[in-house]
């Protein structure tokens, strides 16, 4: 047995499923998960010593690659000063200022420790600020494992969500309405029925948990209009896209396409922590004043604004602000997806791909899907064969067909070339 097999066997005795987050278990693709021993730039090395080109990047945070010198130095310095104080630090202010300089829609932010905590708090803030309870989410968008968000659509627009996880009471999810992503008609009908009862709408501007699916410009335009008209707040979940698809995050990209576009509340994670547990939510002062200790919406966290995590995040943000960083990252990512598309065409494989900044996705479909139902038309068994062929060749892709991928500044042209060479063989062997 390999070291990965032995570790997985050992892990399953003491950890449910052998993992601390479900997708890591490889249940969707089969086989044994790789236990990672270390990261080196664009690579990760497993317990057997095999090196992989890493296109997961800890699910997005590692935009600079693993072990960037400036980040390591900042973290090491912070560790010597103290791991946690449970009291304010100057570095929290510096990180907040850095975020606010890049996100004009926010005037204040609150730091927390995870994306789930940030989205949960953002929805609570929206409810407290509006005095309303109901909210809309979209099928295929994942906003963390908060009870009210673990729901699926009911039988119609007037029917609210039912839990998709054991342990979530019906009553907890009764105020959640789930709609189809990119469906303007369903959106308009939902607002006609419930507009004055809605506290907010929460949406991923580029959904990264049904692979990579963009919100269309007409959809996002109408969503902003309807929220404004009804008094509901628009919550943009940028845990994944924040500072990953653009220096100004996805909202900056959409502001270029939709004049005057901005969300009411923004949620960030992943990149702002640089690989450590850190997230944030922010809005205008008028909305944030409802948050304790100023207002009646309670939120707290012992490790919020942790001094080591803020050092890691601050060093990361300062690196990605350097001139030309995102132009180079975007070009590298585009070269990857264009190359994969070309290789698939050579082999006669139905395939499509898309990217924005350092985030990408691909589908074994003839055209890009616009919603979760279309995504799930992908041939799962074909994807699983392709995944394992790439893994065997030393290319580590997300172990599920519904997860986006990530390129870092550490990836080189040689890494992209090696990936495309592996894909050519994988398409030939696994999909023909």
187-201 residue pLDDT tens: 999 999 999 999 999
Residue 146, number of CB atoms within 10 A of its CB = 16
Residues 174 and 244 in one domain: yes
Q: pLDDT digits over 106-141, tens only?
A: 999 999 999 999 999 999 999 999 999 999 999 989
- Counted domains in the chain: 2
Question: Residue 162 has what pLDDT?
Answer: 54
Distance CA(373)–CA(138), nearest Å, equals 12
Residues 160 and 279 in one domain: yes
Residues 61 and 92 in one domain: no
Taking Cα atoms as reference points, which of 120, 71, 23 lies closest to residue 276? Answer: 71
Q: pLDDT digits over 264-308, tens only?
A: 999 999 999 999 999 999 999 999 999 999 999 999 999 999 999
Residues 274 and 349 in one domain: no
Question: Residue 404 has what pLDDT?
Answer: 96
Q: What is the CATH number of the domain that holds 112?
A: 3.40.640.10
Residue 224's pLDDT band (cuts 50, 70, 90): very high
Kindly state the average pLDDT of the residues 221-241. 98
Distance CA(405)–CA(57), nearest Å, equals 8
Domain interval for residue 330: 3-67+323-431
Beta bridge partners of 376: none
Q: pLDDT digits over 27-81, tens only?
A: 999 999 999 999 999 999 999 999 999 999 999 999 999 999 999 999 999 999 9
Question: Residue 29 has what pLDDT?
Answer: 93
Cα–Cα distances (Å) from 150 to 165, 203, 376, in that order, read 6, 14, 19
Among residues 320, 335, 369, which one ends one of the domains? Answer: 320
- DSSP labels, 379-397: -HHHHHHHHHHHHHTTEE-
Distance CA(58)–CA(40), nearest Å, equals 13
Kindly state the average pLDDT of the residues 348-371. 96
Kindly state the average pLDDT of the residues 170-196. 92
β-strand pairing of 405-406 with 359-363: antiparallel
Residues 332 and 210 in one domain: no
Residues 29 and 175 in one domain: no
Degrees (nearest 5) of the Cα angle 358, 361, 367? 135
Residues 38 and 175 in one domain: no
Residues 303 and 333 in one domain: no
Catalytic residue numbers, as ranges: 142, 237, 270
Residues 200 and 221 in one domain: yes
Residues 31 and 73 in one domain: no
Residues 28 and 139 in one domain: no
Beta strands in 139-268 (DSSP E): 151-152, 162-163, 176-179, 198-203, 206-207, 213-214, 233-238, 265-268
Cα–Cα distances (Å) from 412 to 8, 14, 54, 273, 318, in that order, read 32, 39, 12, 24, 21
- DSSP labels, 282-317: EE-HHHHTTBTTTSSB----TTTT-HHHHHHHHHHH
| Token pair 């985030």 in the structure block, residue | 359
Among residues 276, 294, 320, which one ends one of the domains? Answer: 320
Question: Residue 158 has what pLDDT?
Answer: 34
Among residues 320, 355, 382, which one ends one of the domains? Answer: 320
Question: Residue 234 has what pLDDT?
Answer: 98
Residues 188 and 287 in one domain: yes
Question: Residue 348 has what pLDDT?
Answer: 92
Percentage of the chain beyond pLDDT 90 is 89
Question: Residue 14 has what pLDDT?
Answer: 98
Residue 230's pLDDT band (cuts 50, 70, 90): very high
Q: What is the CATH number of the domain that holds 336?
A: 3.90.1150.10
pTM as predicted: 0.95
Question: Residue 174 has what pLDDT?
Answer: 83
Question: Residue 153 has what pLDDT?
Answer: 39
Retrieve residue 231's tokens.
Answer: 């008094």
């Amino acid at each position: 047995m390999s070291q990965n097999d032995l570790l997985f066997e050992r892990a399953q005795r003491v950890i449910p499923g052998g993992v601390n987050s479900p997708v890591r278990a490889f249940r969707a693709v089969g086989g044994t998960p790789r236990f990672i021993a270390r990261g080196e730039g664009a690579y990760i090395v497993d317990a057997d010593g095999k090196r992989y080109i890493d296109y997961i990047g800890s699910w997005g945070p590692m935009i600079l690659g693993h072990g960037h010198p400036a980040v390591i130095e900042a973290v090491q310095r912070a560790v010597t000063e103290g791991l946690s104080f449970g009291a304010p630090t100057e570095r929290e202010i510096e990180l907040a200022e850095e975020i606010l300089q890049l996100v004009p829609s926010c005037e204040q932010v609150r730091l927390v420790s995870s994306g789930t905590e940030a989205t949960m708090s953002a929805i609570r803030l929206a409810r407290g600020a509006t005095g309303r309870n109901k909210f809309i989410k979209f099928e295929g968008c994942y906003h963390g494992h908060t009870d009210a968000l673990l729901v699926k659509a009911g039988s119609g627009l007037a029917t609210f969500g039912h839990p998709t996880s054991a342990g979530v009471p019906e009553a907890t999810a009764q105020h959640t309405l789930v709609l189809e992503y990119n469906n303007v008609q369903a959106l308009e009908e939902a607002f006609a029925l419930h507009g004055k009862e809605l506290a907010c709408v929460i949406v991923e501007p580029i959904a990264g948990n049904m692979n990579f699916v963009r919100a269309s410009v007409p959809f996002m335009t109408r969503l902003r209009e309807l929220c404004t008209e009804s008094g509901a707040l628009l919550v943009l979940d940028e845990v994944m896209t924040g500072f990953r698809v653009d220096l100004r995050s996805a909202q900056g990209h959409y502001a270029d396409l939709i004049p005057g576009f901005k969300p009411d509340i923004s949620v960030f994670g992943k990149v702002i922590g640089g690989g450590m547990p850190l997230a944030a939510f922010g809005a205008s002062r008028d909305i944030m004043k409802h948050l304790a200790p100023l207002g009646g919406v309670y939120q707290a966290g012992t490790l919020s604004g942790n001094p080591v995590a803020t050092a890691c995040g601050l060093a990361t943000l300062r690196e990605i602000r350097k001139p030309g960083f995102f132009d180079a990252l975007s070009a590298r990512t585009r070269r990857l997806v264009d190359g994969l598309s070309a290789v698939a065409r050579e082999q006669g494989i139905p395939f499509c791909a898309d990217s924005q900044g350092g985030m990408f996705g691909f589908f074994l479909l003839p055209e890009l899907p616009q919603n979760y139902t279309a995504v799930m038309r992908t041939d799962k068994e074909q994807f699983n064969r392709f995944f394992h062929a790439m893994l065997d060749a030393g290319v580590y892709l997300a172990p599920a067909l519904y997860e986006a991928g990530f390129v870092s500044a550490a990836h080189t042209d040689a890494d992209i070339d090696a990936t495309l060479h592996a894909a050519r063989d994988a398409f030939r062997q696994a999909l023909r």
